[in-house]
Amino acid sequence: MHGHVNVKFVSAKQAKEIYQYRNIKSKLYETNGAIWYNKACREKHLTTNYISIRINGKNLQWQKTVRAAAHVRLNQEIKILYIKKRKKNLMNNCTNTPKMCYHMAELLAHHSINIRQQTTTRDGITL
């Protein structure tokens, strides 16, 4: 009616790749936001709501222990989020060579398992 409009038809394969890219990108933004939030909490010495450590004692020594455990848990969460971010970046960058991306994701998954195993306390409790 009011001029010529160019319409591009997208195949199903292209649409799938576009939606995968958008989903990965949005998850990457979400992970970056979580990293920022946890770092801000760490700098301001705040404990987030998802870190709940309960101890029966009420004296000063127990309170210091709870604060230290929450600090360790927050640092561990930041490490896990950075690993998650690295995985998402690899998935985002690997559109041409899926076999290579799968191999890199396997290596990162193995690396994150090793980090979680290294973060056990003296009592054998994983933080």
pLDDT in tens, 25-47: 899 999 999 999 999 999 998 88
Indicate the domain borders of the chain: 80-127
- The full 3-state SS of 43-96, as one line of letters, equals HCCCCCCCCCCCCCCCCHHHHHHHHHHHHHHHHHHHHHHHHHHHHHHHHHHCCC
Lowest mean pLDDT across 87-91, 106-110, 119-123: 119-123
For a pLDDT cut of 70, what percent of the chain falls above it? 65
Is this structure's pTM higher than 0.75?
Answer: no
